Structure 1
Amino acid sequence: MTTAYHVSPTAALDLDALSATARALDAASGADTDDYLLILGDDYTSGPNAVTLAAWLAPQTTRLRIVPEAPVTHTEPFHVATSTATLDYAASGRAGWSPVAQTSDAAADAVGRRPAASVDAAWGEVPDVVAAVRALWTSGESDAEIRDEVTHRFIDRDKVHYVDVTGTDSVGQPWSVKGPSIVPRPPRRASCRPSPSSATHPGITVTEHRTRAEHVTPPDGGVRTARLADGTELRADAVLLAQGHLDVDPGDPGTVGEGHIPPGYTVDQDFSAIPAGEGVLVRGFGLAFIDLMEILTEGRGGRFERGAGDAVPTYVPSGREPVLWVGSRRGVSYRSKPVDGPPAVELHHLVPATLDGIPRTPDGHLEPGHLRRLLTAELHGQWSAVTDEPLDLRRIDRPLDGLAFPDRHAVEREVEAVVLTNLGRATDRRHPQDGLLYSTLVASYFVLHSLLAEGLLDDADRDLVAQVEGSFSYVCSGPPPERLGNLLALHRAGVVRFLGPDTWFRRNPGAGPRFLADSPVVVGDPVTADHLVDARLAQVTVPRVTDPVLRGLLADGELVAGTGASGAAESVFVVDGDNRAVGADGVARDGLFLVGPSTSDPVREGFGRPGQRTRVFPANRRVAEAVADALVGEQERLSPASR
């Protein structure tokens, strides 16, 4: 469990108390069940600069994650980038930052460069600053600094990249940031995250309850009561449920029971029962596995040692690690994202003019075959525009298909070779086609889901969308190159082992370890273990959702299950066009809102990539306005500035 502690600017004035708090949280961090985050407030006028304080605290701690608020309204984006990158070095990759806007006269007077700005104007600049900071962080590759005494070169200039980012400040003046950063690429690229004070607009109070909501009642006179696990009861005119991907009852009688850890958020799960040195079966080879891998290795005291230019580090174990046997349908890890980020693409085939011209069936669906033809043309066209290398989508998506292995060592060698190839291509600029495939899949994915949401696809085209979803996750949602390097290091150290493709998992019906796992294309006995971890997102069906609030509202008739865009029955909670919950009687519930992937109106582009159009921002604004309407009534809507 991650617990966040927020220190106000005035409280931070007591440096002795602040240091003692940080050291106490650090001592409690790093256990298998607890993780602590220290957020340092900064209002620009009272107390020390939070980033400077964080740099002072960093060497006093070894495990605690430190996130200072970084004022951006009156601070140049370049200086924000260099200070937060430097902080990440001081914290050995444990730092983050939280951008905050300043709207007070006191903050403006402290600098004297521009007048105080409105809330909307000040916060409107924040996304531009964040984009500039991220671009500067990654303007140099991790091995750009070579210090070559023979050639007298300090850096490899081919690994330092020009940045050209523009934005608009809080008073409407344009600004630009050009050239690379003067600070090398930070160890973990200092994650950007909001802090509680980031949402404090005038007239709004944010209160964080660090406990679980257990029940939300039906309305009584228009007011609902939310009951929390600590006994607190909150009365609310409007309730917004945003639980994200939901935990579900595992429902697999072949594996559930003692020793099995079901699907869930990896960072929130308890792996303390997994002993050191023992084999553990892991179902799933995506990002959840990569997180699990790091938790059970670095999180238990191991470390990665990288030499200059090493794509694959050396792993130094702590002796507390288990041995992870990982398998999945593909049998290989997700591909890493291109090191330079995805290039911008313009679709040529999956465009409105072409899609509108596809004939419709009597049921209103697109005639069969057209969508697959357009998708194939799109992917091949973008790829072949920059390379003569043939595009073999099947081989990219299923690199182990058609192969058989005489023993387990053979399949492990092949998986390692695939991962090493993917790592090499992700960090080698001689393969621009890979970046174009990435961006084309992302753009195509959004188009297909728009057609799906409009009800234009028949069963065959829905199957096509499901296939694209699988390829999309594999090609576009993989770990950064550093994590793939860590995976290979752990394999070479014997800490991670590969089971192969189409892996099956089941309970052992006989004596011995509880679980068995094997691949049908690998000769040899199954691998056995007493622990099985499902490192994957669960397939949601409403009746199996375990969230107590949702289950209670469902039992009260305040929610109802519906058929999702994929055609799966009881796979979503039904909402109306404003994301108001629809009850069992088919009527939308005033003051009760649901957002997220398990609703009938999910925003698939919620994870939109930089430079690509995404619906998440206008969709969030639409929901926010609907919540405002529920709070103040249609005739008394709050003005945009105060909303």
Structure 2
Amino acid sequence: MSTVRQSLVIVGAGPRGTGILERLAANTSDDYGELALDVHLVDPYPPGGGRIWRREQSPLLWMNSQAQDVTMFTDDTVELAGPVVPGPVLHEWAGIDGRTFADRRRQGGYLRWVYERAVAALPDGVTVHHHPRRALRVSGSRHGRQQVWLEGVTRPLSADAVVLAQGHLDAELDDEQMELSEYAARHGLVHLPPDFTADSDLGALAPGQDVLVRGFGLAFVDLMVLLTEGRGGRFEGDTYVPSGREPVLHVGSRRGVPYHSKLGYDWDAGERPPLPRFLGPAQIDELLAKEGGFGPDDFRCEVWPLIDKELGFAHYHRLFTAHPERTSVAWDVFEEKYAAAAPLSAEQQALVAASVPDPADRLDLAALDRPLDGVRHASYEELQAGLRGHITDDLERRHDPAHSPDLAVFLGLLSVYGQLVRLGDVGPWWHGFFSYLASGPPGPRLRQLLALSRAGVVKFVGADMRVEARDGVFRATSASAPGVRIEARALVEARLPQPTLARTRDRLLRTLHEEGARSTDAGLLAVDPSDGRVLYRDGSAHPRRFALGPHTDARGAGAFTRPRTNGPSFRQNDATARAVLALLRDLSCRTTAA
């Protein structure tokens, strides 16, 4: 490259922006010649951790992954064109037990260290500047330099390329949330819409107040922690000792149960299932090549059967090879017939029934997805006991190696997620299902939930929770306890905002959409899956604008991942970084030639 100084703007300095920076450093070699580049990181929060992993948050909030399962570094399993640059996993960097669930502030420290290491690894000609502001707009022609306008600054940053890596975003209220919020204002109620729990105004929830909570995932776990231990309560073994400052949380959701506990054991011995088997690159290629293209509406009929068969293969491979006494035929016989059977077919079901005597050893994804379907309780008290039993059973199973096919299914889920990234927008259901099975809370959190239930601080509403605003209050009902109705003067939506372009509060993305950037059926920013370039409604890809993260249809499972799992985010980061460097080299060559 020539020494003409170039500029790259990365909007978002959290884990995704840090990952892009790490890949820029890894891919910058002698092949690029002398690099003269200013990298501008735009984020109101500190680089590395960004908003979600910033140090200024409660130390009570944990990661939901063990420290040995968190890395920001590539390894030889990652399919990428750039070089592998190994580095320490979180527990190695922090000097802690790998099975520890580290608090988020410690993860923020790890991410900050990764950021500083990436900056130090950049060539001498590269300078990194952090702008602690919000980016408001990006302008400029497709064939000229871009201008990135910042909040509170009159002159924009000039950029040869722009990478949008904002991460999780706030959103404007949808119609239902707006109605509930306005109703609460008229009647003096409290309504907390979808938000990041650490940023919610929980001071509005009074001690002893009945609070309806809609959502039973990780956002609820954070809410539970901040409103109990965060208000001075404490756990003594399996007993919760309240401070008297806690509200009473009545929690329900579509499923009516919390996400499955994190698995409490490792792969001890035996062959891992050879994945992918029934949903791999060849099958994704076929789906992408289908006439008319692949869309979210195709998921249930064309993709889900392959997922079901893939996860079933992982489950039964482990069952037959590690627990053969619980099967009635040899693995090679079963495997041949399983491979020949059509997904979700009667033939496949008959094979499983004949080969696996105990129904409890068979994989039933539909039953896993809706565990309370058909379960009815005669009273609210009976519902509480039933849900405590469900959570207790889940904890025991997820910590018992006798159920190690569950770990094989977890590995299958990771494999499937990595393949589906290539399809783009597959609709919201899959991401929720994946999180429910594979991204649940640590086991200790569910034991705390049981203690809070016994103490009467948390009460369960059940499945298919419905909330209505009538007669000056919020009312909740569920299918799990017909006839039971809970009234409260506070409602919390315990879930993250949906990252749609139409409703995001990120002004840059909304303006981008208004000016022609394409959105998917689910409202995500469409990008070229090969390198992350932003796609437009005229069918073109912007040559200088790139985007990665949950607001795009190339969203992966997260900006960091488990070691040795061919993490899709690492593949995406590498492809985008290389595309940016290729663009800069091409622009530099043109300048030199001119």
TM over 0.5: same fold? yes
Aligned to 1:375: 310
For residues 461-482 of structure 1, the C-alpha deviation after alignment (integer angstroms, 9 at most, x for no partner) is x7xx876544322110101111
Matched, 1:391 2:351: no
Q: Supply the AA of the counterpart residue of 1:550.
A: L
Aligned to 2:254: 329
For residues 602-635 of structure 1, the C-alpha deviation after alignment (integer angstroms, 9 at most, x for no partner) is 3457554333222322321221122234445355
Instruction: Pick from 374, 382, 394 the counterpart of residue 422 of structure 1.
Output: 394
Q: Supply the AA of the counterpart residue of 1:318.
A: S
Instruction: Pick from 402, 419, 437 the counterpart of residue 475 of structure 1.
Output: 437
Aligned to 2:218: 287
Aligned to 1:194: 112
Q: Secondary structure, in 3 states, of the residue corresponding to 2:240?
A: strand
**CA distance 1:363–1:373, shift in 2 (3 Å):** farther
Instruction: Pick from 595, 599, 611 the counterpart of residue 552 of structure 2.
Output: 599
**CA distance 1:601–1:341, shift in 2 (3 Å):** same
Aligned to 2:175: 252
**What is the distance in 2 between the residues matched to 1:34 and 1:583?**
30
Alignment of 1:47-62 (within 5 A): none
User: Could you tell me whether the CA contact under 8 Å between 1:247 and 1:546 is conserved in 2?
Assistant: yes
User: Could you tell me whether the CA contact under 8 Å between 2:276 and 2:310 is conserved in 1?
Assistant: no
User: Could you tell me whether the CA contact under 8 Å between 1:98 and 1:198 is conserved in 2?
Assistant: no
**CA distance 1:285–1:623, shift in 2 (3 Å):** same
Alignment of 1:33-432 (within 5 A): 37=55, 124-127=85-88, 130=90, 132=92, 137-138=97-98, 188=103, 190-191=106-107, 192-195=110-113, 197-201=116-120, 202-218=124-140, 222-231=144-153, 233-237=155-159, 238-253=161-176, 255-257=180-182, 258=184, 259-306=190-237, 313-341=238-266, 344-347=272-275, 349-350=277-278, 355=283, 371=306, 374-375=309-310, 377-385=312-320, 386-387=322-323, 388=326, 389-393=360-364, 394-432=366-404
**What is the distance in 2 between the residues matched to 1:187 and 1:314?**
23
Deviates more, 1:263-272 or 1:279-288: 263-272
Aligned to 1:151: none
**CA distance 1:340–1:234, shift in 2 (3 Å):** farther
Matched, 1:503 2:503: no
**What is the distance in 1 between the residues matched to 2:149 and 2:429?**
41
**CA distance 1:560–1:326, shift in 2 (3 Å):** same
**What is the distance in 1 between the residues matched to 2:53 and 2:552?**
30
Aligned to 1:71: none
**CA distance 1:437–1:336, shift in 2 (3 Å):** same
**CA distance 1:316–1:222, shift in 2 (3 Å):** farther
Q: Supply the AA of the counterpart residue of 1:561.
A: R
**What is the distance in 2 between the residues matched to 1:36 and 1:620?**
22
Q: Supply the AA of the counterpart residue of 1:197.
A: E
**CA distance 1:276–1:341, shift in 2 (3 Å):** farther
User: Could you tell me whether the CA contact under 8 Å between 1:338 and 1:426 is conserved in 2?
Assistant: yes
Deviates more, 1:493-502 or 1:345-354: 345-354
Matched, 1:530 2:489: yes
Deviates more, 1:228-237 or 1:416-425: 228-237
Q: Supply the AA of the counterpart residue of 1:199.
A: A
For residues 433-479 of structure 1, the C-alpha deviation after alignment (integer angstroms, 9 at most, x for no partner) is 221222223223434554x45x9xxxxxx7xx876544322110101
User: Could you tell me whether the CA contact under 8 Å between 2:280 and 2:419 is conserved in 1?
Assistant: no
Q: Which has the higher contact order (CA 8 A, sep 6+)?
A: 2
**What is the distance in 2 between the residues matched to 1:243 and 1:194?**
17
Deviation for aligned residue 1:135: 9.6
Aligned to 2:512: 553
**What is the distance in 2 between the residues matched to 1:358 and 1:225?**
40
**CA distance 1:375–1:469, shift in 2 (3 Å):** farther
Deviation for aligned residue 1:352: 5.1
**CA distance 1:599–1:356, shift in 2 (3 Å):** closer
Q: Supply the AA of the counterpart residue of 2:248.
A: V
Deviation for aligned residue 1:330: 1.0
**What is the distance in 2 between the residues matched to 1:36 and 1:440?**
32
Q: Supply the AA of the counterpart residue of 2:55.
A: L
Note the aligned Cα RMSD (angstroms).
Answer: 4.3
**CA distance 1:320–1:222, shift in 2 (3 Å):** farther
Matched, 1:581 2:534: yes
Q: Secondary structure, in 3 states, of the residue corresponding to 1:613?
A: coil
Deviates more, 1:471-480 or 1:582-591: 582-591
For residues 107-140 of structure 1, the C-alpha deviation after alignment (integer angstroms, 9 at most, x for no partner) is xxxxxxxxxxxxx99x93424x54745896136x
Q: Report how many residues are paired.
A: 466
For residues 196-234 of structure 1, the C-alpha deviation after alignment (integer angstroms, 9 at most, x for no partner) is 533323444433333333333345993444343344644
Any stretches of 5+ residues in structure 1 without a counterpart?
5-32, 39-61, 67-83, 86-96, 101-119, 140-184, 307-312, 456-461, 638-643
Q: Secondary structure, in 3 states, of the residue corresponding to 1:403?
A: coil
Aligned to 2:418: 446
**What is the distance in 2 between the residues matched to 1:247 and 1:136?**
33
Deviation for aligned residue 1:412: 1.3
Deviates more, 1:415-424 or 1:582-591: 582-591
Q: Secondary structure, in 3 states, of the residue corresponding to 1:533?
A: strand
User: Could you tell me whether the CA contact under 8 Å between 2:59 and 2:103 is conserved in 1?
Assistant: no
**CA distance 1:358–1:635, shift in 2 (3 Å):** closer
Q: Supply the AA of the counterpart residue of 2:162.
A: V
Q: Percent identity?
A: 34
**CA distance 1:439–1:618, shift in 2 (3 Å):** closer
**What is the distance in 1 between the residues matched to 2:284 and 2:497?**
35
Q: Supply the AA of the counterpart residue of 2:87.
A: V
Q: Secondary structure, in 3 states, of the residue corresponding to 1:330?
A: coil
Q: Secondary structure, in 3 states, of the residue corresponding to 1:206?
A: strand
Higher percent of residues as helix: 2
Aligned to 2:329: none
Q: Supply the AA of the counterpart residue of 2:313.
A: E
**What is the distance in 2 between the residues matched to 1:98 and 1:138?**
12
**What is the distance in 2 between the residues matched to 1:396 and 1:209?**
46
Aligned to 1:167: none
**What is the distance in 2 between the residues matched to 1:131 and 1:187?**
9
Q: Supply the AA of the counterpart residue of 2:137.
A: H
Matched, 1:433 2:394: no
**CA distance 1:324–1:422, shift in 2 (3 Å):** same
Deviation for aligned residue 1:327: 0.7
Deviation for aligned residue 1:278: 1.0
